[in-house]
Structure 1
Amino acid sequence: MSSSNALIIFTRNPELGKGKRRLAATVGDEAAFEIYKFLLHHTREITKTVNAQPQVWYSEKVHENDDWDNNRYKKFQQQGQDLGIRMQHAFETAFQSHDKVIIIGSDMHDLTTEDLNRAFELLDTKDAVIGPAIDGGYYLLGFKNKVPDNVFSNKVWGTETVLEETLKDLKTINYTMLEPRNDVDFYEDIKDVPAFQPFLKHIHA
């Protein structure tokens, strides 16, 4: 594990009827809840051996005795009124003790440990790394030493303009882009993915 690297994982406290609302609109609350727990498990699997100090940032409150191993993960509570303020605060906290910091969410099924390690390696020679999501947002964002100005401000979070607006903020620094990936927000994102079929048996196209 590299002490110079920190991996921020933003997660929502798992609760039936909360989170994955756009997905739940099609598959129902129960299935959306099970899918989210499945995605959390996948996120733990790919981050527990990452070449970084992994940090879990909970949306509401820190859970000390949950499935995130206290011996491996540092635990924090997100702070701020919107997603941008929350991410800015998390980065600033991580940069107090790490040189390279990357943030991911917890709803990326097609992300691997190797992807994360490679992103940290890219920060050896780049100031920033960004993983564009197919829906117009991003699934990964990382910086070396500091966060550029305005990168977390003046964004309409959860819309297809986030990536485009963020890239404008990065144009004055040396950044690199990863390959586009699909995060899980809607039924269409998972309806043809084999790993999700056990959760979709009750749905008939």
Structure 2
Amino acid sequence: MTFTRNPELGKVKSRLAKGIGEKAALEVYIQLLEHTKSVLQQIDVDKCVWYSVAVRKNDLWNDKIYQKKAQIGDDLGARMLNSFKDAFQNNYEKVIIIGSDLYDLRPTHIQEAIDALDTNDVVIGPAKDGGYYLLGMKTLHEKAFAPKAWGTETVLADTLKELDSQKIQLLETLNDIDYAEDLLPYETFKKYTS
């Protein structure tokens, strides 16, 4: 599963937009969505895109390849919990969610997460900012979605505390793109930072 925001001017990457402007932030976000799609195309699993506002037909995400659903819930935790519940109710044995703002994400990260669930209860891909870019489970652990300060540097630590009785594997830590300085390591985004 991947969570996305509908790519609309002024409605995506607000923290990034403060540094590079709304138009540039939208352009960057569309490139991040394209990258996420290219990564997912290389993994042979069922795929679902969860839209922030409304499900779009005939968009970047091919209707024949991706299940498409609208996120439900008042905050990120509730929306993720509802998507995991949906997947487990549909008899999936391993459920993995990724964000859509990681230019460092590779198919190997997702494959490693899938494999990790053979011998672990939970797999998490930590982000450099203290959150996470990937969360995977083979049974639902609702406490991972308890209310917390989503989007802050304590999200990963809080989640690990909530899941302390589970066997957890951590993946490689990656950089997610939230602020203008997060673009600096990437040649692709140089025009937005120079």
Q: Distance in 1 between matches of 2:44 and 2:108?
A: 9
SS in 1 for 2:135: strand
Aligned residue pairs total: 193
- Aligned residue runs from structure 1 range 12-161, under 5 A: 12-96=5-89, 97-144=91-138, 146-161=139-154
In the aligned structure 2, how far is the partner of 1:168 from the partner of 1:124? 22
What residue identity is the alignment partner of 1:120? I
Choose between structure 1 and 2: higher helix proportion: 2
**Distance in structure 1 (CA, Å) of the matches to 2:99 and 2:47:** 12
What secondary structure sits across from 1:140 in the alignment? Answer: strand
1:192 offset after TM fit, Å? 3.1
Conservation of the 8 A alpha-carbon contact between 1:20 and 1:185 = yes
The whole-number CA distance in structure 2 between the counterparts of 1:159 and 1:147 is 23
- Residue 171 of structure 2 is matched in structure 1 by 178
Instruction: Give the TM-score taking structure 1 as reference length.
Output: 0.91
TM-score normalised by length of structure 2: 0.96
Q: Tell me the residue number matched to 1:162.
A: 155
Q: CA RMSD in A?
A: 1.0
Unpaired segments ≥5 residues, structure 2: none
Of all paired residues, the percent bearing the same amino acid is 48
Alignment partner, residue 5 of structure 1 = none
| Runs of 4+ residues deviating >4 angstroms | none
Which amino acid is the alignment partner of residue 12 of structure 1?
R
Q: Is the 8 A contact 1:149 1:169 kept in 2?
A: no
